[in-house]
Amino acid sequence: MSQTPPSPEWLQQLSDPYAVLGLSVAADNSRVLKRYRTIAKLLHPDRFAIEEMTNQELASQMLARVVNPAYQRLKQENGRAETLAMLRFRVRRLSRDEPLAPFSETANRLIQTAQADVEVFYEQAIASLADAQYREFERLESTIQQLNELNLVYLRLKMGEPLIREKRTGIVSAKDAKPIQFTPVTPDASPSTTDYAQRHFMRAHAYMEKSNWASAVQELRDAIKIEPNKSEYHALVAKAYLMQNLQGMAKVHFKQALKLNPSDPLALEYAQKLKIEIEPPTPQNPKVGAYLDYSPKKVEG
């Protein structure tokens, strides 16, 4: 395993729990639980020798800050439904902005796959990537990105028909696969962005009341992806970062909150404490970050 772990900031950027757990978007309760247990065993401290303390600490951090929150979002049907709705929304936004052009070779092969074989190819590709996902830390980031692209491409291909749910027998056979239908996306087909963003915002408040800062950050990052110009979202995620001693990330979001709203009370409160210089507001592009992963650069605090 690699001795160079991903940065803590990168760990906070993961937003597709299916990709984090290495699961098909058609996974049911039993498959989610089985996969979670498999990953938990792979990341158990007893697997690492004394000389592998770096990897042992990284494994514990990944389990607590990445795997567990992803499992919490997928272990119940309503959580999976919300996650799928969010992923479909991202697909629609991407589809309206530019042609489907993933970076990974596997996702591009999925696009070129014959209609009758899409289900089988997708499930096999997910299983293949997931097999080594938490065994090789140096490839984890790349693997999760590839899994996320596979999920988005698959959902785009299936956008015109209901999602084929996982059967008890496992992978859906090619003969059972339905023809892929491409349908034009209309504005009315998209769910309310405000509604989704507000749900994440409220859940973040609930997590923060329990001092679950990592989960609060994840919810707020999802809210920011939907509505990047809400000062209260940036201010609250900044506070959550600060409570985890990630002062650099906190400053980035407090500054952004004040750019969007120089009167934001939470941002103003902490700007003075952190000695943040308040910049004059600048015109905002409402589309920035709305359909791409919002990934602020690391700023040393």
Residue 235 confidence (pLDDT) above 90: yes
Considering the domain boundaries, does residue 163 fall inside one?
Answer: yes
Cα 97 from Cα 105, distance rounded (Å) = 22
Residues 171, 217: one domain? no
Global model pTM greater than 0.75: no
Residues 236, 139: one domain? no
- 3-state secondary structure (DSSP) of residue 165: coil
pLDDT of residue 98: 67
Beta carbons of 153 and 23 less than 8 angstroms apart: no
Residues 169, 197: one domain? no
Residues 202, 177: one domain? no
Last residue of a domain, one of 181, 214, 242: 181
Q: What angle do CA 60, 11, 145 make, to 5 degrees?
A: 115
How many CA atoms are closer than 13 Å to the CA of 131, on its beta-carbon side? 7
Q: What does the pLDDT look like over 253-270, one tens digit per residue?
A: 898 899 999 999 999 989
CATH code of the domain containing 244: 1.25.40.10
Residues 209, 175: one domain? no
Q: How confident is the model at residue 53 (pLDDT cuts 50, 70, 90)?
A: low
Which of the 8 DSSP states describes residue 113?
Answer: S
Tokens 């597709």 belong to residue: 16
- Over range 202-209, report the average pLDDT: 86
Considering the domain boundaries, does residue 232 fall inside one?
Answer: yes
Considering the domain boundaries, does residue 132 fall inside one?
Answer: yes
Number of domains in the chain: 2
**Residue numbers of the domain that contains 216:** 193-273
pLDDT of residue 52: 60
Rg of the chain over all Cα atoms, to the nearest angstrom: 20
- Over range 187-196, report the average pLDDT: 50
Residues 155, 259: one domain? no
Residue 9 confidence (pLDDT) above 70: no
Of the candidates 75, 91, 15, the one whose C-alpha atom is nearest the C-alpha of residue 40 is 75
Last residue of a domain, one of 147, 181, 215: 181
Considering the domain boundaries, does residue 30 fall inside one?
Answer: yes
Considering the domain boundaries, does residue 1 fall inside one?
Answer: no
Q: What does the pLDDT look like over 158-185, one tens digit per residue?
A: 875 444 444 433 444 334 434 333 333 3
What length does the chain have? 301
- Over range 65-79, report the average pLDDT: 92
**Range picked from 67-76, 183-192, 217-226 for highest mean pLDDT:** 67-76
Cα 86 from Cα 15, distance rounded (Å) = 10
Q: Left if phi > 0, otherwise alpha if psi is -120 to 50, otherwise beta: which for 22?
A: left
pLDDT of residue 57: 80
Residues 89, 206: one domain? no
Considering the domain boundaries, does residue 291 fall inside one?
Answer: no
- Over range 194-212, report the average pLDDT: 82
How many CA atoms are closer than 13 Å to the CA of 244, on its beta-carbon side? 24
Of the candidates 241, 195, 237, 235, the one whose C-alpha atom is nearest the C-alpha of residue 219 is 237
- Over range 51-71, report the average pLDDT: 81
Considering the domain boundaries, does residue 153 fall inside one?
Answer: yes
Which tokens go with 45?
A: 């401290």
Beta carbons of 270 and 239 less than 8 angstroms apart: yes
Q: What is the DSSP string of 77-91?
A: HHHHHHHHHHHHHHH
Share of the chain above pLDDT 90, in %: 28
- 3-state secondary structure (DSSP) of residue 170: strand
Q: How confident is the model at residue 301 (pLDDT cuts 50, 70, 90)?
A: very low
Residues 252, 160: one domain? no
Backbone angles phi, psi at 167, to 5 degrees: -90, 160
pLDDT of residue 191: 44
- Over range 292-297, report the average pLDDT: 44
**Range picked from 74-78, 157-161, 195-199 for highest mean pLDDT:** 74-78
Residue 286 confidence (pLDDT) above 50: no
Residues 112, 247: one domain? no
pLDDT of residue 97: 67
Residues 77, 22: one domain? yes
Considering the domain boundaries, does residue 47 fall inside one?
Answer: yes
Q: What's the whole-number average pLDDT of the chain? A: 76
Residues 89, 204: one domain? no
Residue 35 confidence (pLDDT) above 60: yes
Residues 65, 166: one domain? yes
**Alpha-helical regions (H) of 170-282:** 193-209, 213-226, 231-242, 247-260, 265-273
Cα 66 from Cα 71, distance rounded (Å) = 9
